[in-house]
Amino acid sequence: MSAHPLPARRWRPGFASWTTLIVGGLLLWSLWAIEASPERLARLPAQLAQVLGFFWPVDWQYGHTRVLPAIVESIQLAWIGTIIGAALSLPLAILGASTLFPWAAKVIKGISATIRAVPEILWALYLVPIVGLGPFAGALALGINSVGMLSKLGAEVVESADLAAMEAVEAAGGSRLAAIRLGLLPQVLPELMAHWLFRFELNLRASAVLGVVGAGGVGGLLLNTLRYRQFEMAAAVLVLTVLVVLAIDMVSGSVRRKLLRG
């Protein structure tokens, strides 16, 4: 506390003004560096309108022979990635809770932070030469990333759980493992499962990118149609992808809400 109850007020540029100034400066510098001149930006709307025009009319010709199978593959590899993530993250979430295993938690949190820092596409980059081009590599890449994410979120759920019931199990002669199964798991499992489902939604979105390095899913098809300027077919890929992803989000979202309520 200051000794003067009412210090003399002097105008100072506040935190907000400084931030705006610095960010503004960095922005201008970045724009200059990537050669985003005003002329280029002025031309952008017209160019964009022209390109968007290419996407019409939507070409459904390969809808069910190529697009749908690719989307299905995306769903499959997202699913397997999520299953891998959920299965491996469950023990890691418990071992990674500092309230239960202070020592192991530090190690596990470090490892999962490292895993999370590497974008899944880089994992795929290494996995493709090992297991070959295709969705298996993509599923593994998503799996690795999911383990990192889900262990962190899971450990947070476990850390916020009430450990009192666990002590009751141990007081009745139960082992640590029994205390975790009977006293902890019923508390945290619904929340963990909600995280798994949300990770599935995110994995499905991520799977649309893995195709870039040949790791399967709808991404490869999207990339190729756009690269070879088959915009009308790309439109079909986009429309179907958006519809499927939104539908799955809706189902998964309502299951998640049910899990968290019950």
Does residue 113 belong to the site contacting another protein (CB under 8 A)?
A: yes
Both structure tokens of 253:
């979202």
84: nearest Cα among 42, 10, 140: 140
**Which of left, alpha, beta for 58 (phi over 0: left; psi -120 to 50: alpha)?**
beta
| Cβ distance to another protein smaller for residue 6 or 52 | 52
| Cβ distance to another protein smaller for residue 6 or 130 | 130
Q: What 8-state DSSP symbol labels residue 212?
A: G
Residues between 71 and 90 with contacts to another protein, criterion CB under 8 A: 72-73, 75-77, 79-80, 83
Least Å distance, CB 75 to another protein, is: 8
Q: Interacting stretch for another protein, rule CB under 8 A, among 3-11, 59-67, 150-158, 182-190?
A: 182-190
Contact residue for another protein among 182, 230, 232, 259 (CB under 8 A): 182
Residues between 190 and 219 with contacts to another protein, criterion CB under 8 A: 190, 205, 208-209, 211-213, 216, 219
Identify residue 140 by its one-letter amino acid code.
Answer: L
Q: Interacting stretch for another protein, rule CB under 8 A, among 56-64, 93-101, 152-160, 220-228?
A: 220-228
Question: What is the distance between the alpha carbons of residues 112 and 148, in angstroms, rounded to a whole number?
Answer: 4
Least Å distance, CB 101 to another protein, is: 14
Q: Interacting stretch for another protein, rule CB under 8 A, among 70-78, 90-98, 99-107, 149-157?
A: 70-78
Q: Interacting stretch for another protein, rule CB under 8 A, among 3-11, 89-97, 136-144, 148-156?
A: 136-144
Whether residue 57 has a cis bond before it, omega within 30° of 0: yes
Does residue 227 belong to the site contacting another protein (CB under 8 A)?
A: yes
Residue 76 contacts residue 136 (beta carbons within 8 Å): no
Does residue 102 belong to the site contacting another protein (CB under 8 A)?
A: no
**Cβ neighbours, 10 Å, residue 123:** 23
Question: What is the distance between the alpha carbons of residues 102 and 98, in angstroms, rounded to a whole number?
Answer: 4
In order, the DSSP letters of 118-130 are S-HHHHHHHHHHH
Question: What is the distance between the alpha carbons of residues 17 and 12, in angstroms, rounded to a whole number?
Answer: 10
Q: What 8-state DSSP symbol labels residue 184?
A: I
Binding mask 4-23 for another protein (x = CB under 8 A): -------------------x
Does residue 107 belong to the site contacting another protein (CB under 8 A)?
A: no
Q: How many residues bind to another protein according to rule CB under 8 A?
A: 83
Question: What is the distance between the alpha carbons of residues 207 and 136, in angstroms, rounded to a whole number?
Answer: 12
Does residue 31 belong to the site contacting another protein (CB under 8 A)?
A: yes
Least Å distance, CB 245 to another protein, is: 5
